[in-house]
Amino acid sequence: MSTLNTRPEPLDLAFGKSAIVVVDMQNAFASKGGLLDLAGIDISGAPQVVRSIDAVLRAARERGVQVVYLQTGYKPDLSNGGGASSPNPRKETALCLMRARPELKGKLLVEGTWDFEIVRELTPRPEDIVVLKTRYSGFAGTTLDSVLRAREIRYLFFVGIATNVCVESTLRDAYFHEYWPILVTDGAMQAGPPAAHEATIFNVESFFGWTLTSQSLIESLTTQT
């Protein structure tokens, strides 16, 4: 077991039963010309988040820790986005923006498009796991839980975009599924004002898990047995 310098208190865990969960690090959320940028949401912090995640993944892979990517994507006909009885098309940013701007139809978070792709700097490796999703939580209607349990993974480190939407949604569900969730605070970025990021940190530390910085995690991965 390794002892991590997490907040609100140190946490003992086994890296051999851990995974790094990379949430939606797609052009849609992290690149100029992507969904969030087109929606007018500030993504100026994305390059630093990409660098933090890249450093974490390098250390994790060297240690043999499993890397799991979550990737949001819709069919070209948007049939898996939710029909008239679903609230998803009324709130999910890509579906709303494509409805409001017909010239964008089929271009935002649609499988096979540039917007859908993982950013180049964080391209998954063959040994990584990629789980496609169509809702904010990576556990909603996906194989994520069975994939993790098959590998006896119990501890999940969360990085990605957006802190207050898909990251927090998946982290909360991880807690409800009896996983131990840890948010890497500088490896995530909010959609909206900075207060949204801070609110998620408060929620995690108070109710759903633990937090730590990327540097603290890297140090533990590289120095602790």
Domains of the chain: 2-32+45-74+119-223 (3.40.50.850)
Measured in whole angstroms, the distance separating CA 148 from the mean position of its chain's CA atoms is 15
Question: Is residue 138 pLDDT above 80, yes or no?
Answer: yes
What pLDDT is stored for residue 26 in this prediction? 98
pLDDT of residue 224: 80
Q: Tell me the C-alpha distance between 157 and 165, whole Å.
A: 16
Is residue 24 part of the annotated active site? The answer reads yes
pLDDT(82) > 90: yes
Catalytic residue among 37, 128, 133, 186: 133
Mean pLDDT of 48-58: 98
- 96 classed as catalytic: no
Average pLDDT, the chain: 97
Cβ pair 211, 6 in contact under 8 A = yes
Backbone phi, then psi, for 53, in 5-degree steps? -65, -45
**Percent with pLDDT over 70 in the chain:** 100
Per DSSP (E only), the strands in the chain are: 2-4, 11-13, 18-23, 66-72, 129-133, 155-161, 180-189, 210-212
Q: Is 77 a catalytic residue?
A: no
Catalytic residue among 37, 107, 128, 166: 166
Is pLDDT above 90 for 225? no
Q: pTM for this one?
A: 0.97
Find the mean pLDDT for residues 55-81.
97
